[in-house]
Amino acid sequence: MTDEQKIKIKQPPLLFSKTQEYIRRLEEHLDAPILTYWNGPNGSVCGNDVVAFYELLERIGNCEKLYLFIKSDGGNGRASLRIINLIRQYAKHIISLVPLECASAATMMAIGTDEIRMGPMAYLSAVDTSLTHDLSPLDRDNTRVSVSLDELNRVVRLWKSNTDDSTTNPYKSLFEWVHPLVIGAVDRAESLSIMLCEELLSYHIQDESRVKKIANILNSKYPSHSYPIMRKEALDIGLNIKPMDKTVNDLLLEINGLYSEMGQRATTDFDEIRSHSNEILNILEVVGAQIFYQNDKDWFYRTEERRWITLNDNSNWRMVELINGKTRKSVLHIA
């Protein structure tokens, strides 16, 4: 018997019945459908989420008003635009519920809704784009790192402000560390980020100058990508911000606690270079159905390359639904 067979593989808990109870209570309190969207520490907003959203929106059907609970550290901004565009084909009025972090691409999702309700611990963030390119620099674990245009521009500004030689080109030295194609890609990505924000805001703001102002502030005002934009500042920017009802905030925090329990790491270590992960990364839910993405893969540390690689990857999207009073589990084949 191998070591893998002797060791019991950890599995995260599925708490569908508990989360459903809170979602029903929320719907009764809000008197409208609610769709929850939660990312774990290693999850992110991604293109495949759009198909998962579609599956659940088809269950809800067309409605006058829809509440969208968002808890995420961000991800792909283009996916945010696709998600909001999809939801708007089902709901005339969308209200974001933000009890905790709603950062980066998740902020993009929120600004695409008609109204953002923020709890006492809630925050949005800057949306300046950083990306991980195939030619990005490597970190100490031999993994490609993300590069942002703001970081690059600050290096150039510091160089120019600390040298008297106006003939020296800072990019000549910068190219030794960051490939020129990466710099070009990041510059293009920032233009895309501004365009995405303008498109999302235009869904509910008709004043073009106001749209451009908000988009530029979110993309270029803040010195840090992770700078937390609290309720007052978000209101000052020009976003339609309202305080969240305490009952709603408390119920959402209970749901977040259950999702956090589901999204625990669930990593099984076989030895110092081999492990298996069953972590749940993304969760979406409406009354009667829950969809989540779960890792199911082996990790192997390749010593000579100083990096972790994956093996036997059976990760997939899964659905839990209530049919005639019985819970049914299935796999969703999303490319």
For the stretch 252-300, pLDDT in tens is 999 999 999 999 888 888 888 888 888 999 999 999 999 999 988 888 8
The pLDDT tens digits for 135-178 are 677 776 666 777 766 667 677 777 777 776 666 677 777 777 77
Q: pTM of the prediction?
A: 0.86
Q: Which residues contact residue 298 at a Cβ distance below 8 angstroms, ignoring those fewer than 6 apart?
A: 274, 275, 276, 310, 311, 312, 313
Asked if residue 17 lies in contact with residue 50, where contact means CB atoms within 8 angstroms, the answer is no
Asked if pLDDT for residue 47 goes beyond 80, the answer is yes
Classify residue 233 by burial, with Cβ atoms within 10 Å: 0-12, 13-18, 19+: middle
Query: How far is 335 from 313, CA to CA, in rounded Å?
Result: 14
- What is the residue extent of each domain of the chain? 3-126+222-332, 132-186
Q: 3-126+222-332 sits in which CATH class?
A: alpha beta
Structure tokens that stand for 283 in this block: 């969760």
* Contact status, residue 56 vs residue 37, Cβ threshold 8 Å: no
Report the 10 Å Cβ neighbour count for 327.
Answer: 13
